């Protein structure tokens, strides 16, 4: 069994009302996150929902055939597929991710994605020391 390490971020540092986060989102309210962003033909649209020293939360909408070329990040990232599906490659391993699934992108590992259909994802990156 793989050992899982986690860091707990104090609630005081998870401030969605931080001055950098002028998203218009209200605290303590249920939000249909997939409805916050619309698809645009031939484009990738993104909206940062949170950006603090602890990490970022970004919503993306990809038109079919759009993608992100291979790159790395110094931090772990978590992708939650909100709508549609995508082909994701992590360290040369290619697989399909569908609505309702999550994918962990390990720090310093090359990864890329391609929209197999129109799809929306939530990218959560937690910065660690």
**pLDDT, one tens digit for every residue, the chain (129 residues):** 333 333 333 334 334 444 444 456 778 889 898 999 999 999 999 999 999 989 999 999 999 999 999 999 999 999 999 999 999 999 999 999 999 999 999 999 999 999 999 999 999 999 875
Strand arrangement, sheet containing 119-126: 44-52, 55-62, 119-126, 77-83, 102-105
The pLDDT value recorded for residue 26 is: 79
Rg (the chain; Cα; Å): 15
Domain ranges in the chain are 44-124
d(CA 53, CA 47): 18
- Residue range 44-124 in CATH 3.40.50.10490: no
Tell me which residue of 90, 81, 87, 125 sits closest to 111, measured CA to CA: 90
On whether the pTM is more than 0.85, the answer is: no
């Amino acid at each position: 069994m793989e050992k899982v390490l986690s860091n707990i971020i104090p609630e005081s540092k998870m401030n969605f009302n931080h001055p950098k986060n002028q998203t218009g989102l209200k605290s303590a309210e249920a939000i249909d996150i997939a409805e916050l962003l619309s698809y645009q033909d031939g484009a990738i649209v993104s909206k940062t929902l949170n950006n603090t020293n602890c990490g970022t939360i970004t919503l993306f909408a990809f038109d079919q055939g759009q993608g992100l070329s291979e790159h790395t990040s110094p931090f772990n990232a978590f992708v939650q597929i909100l709508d549609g599906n995508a082909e994701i490659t992590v360290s040369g391993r290619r697989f399909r991710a569908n609505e309702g699934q999550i994918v962990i992108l390990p720090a310093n590992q090359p990864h890329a994605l391609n929209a197999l259909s129109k799809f929306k994802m939530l990218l959560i990156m937690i910065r660690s020391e």
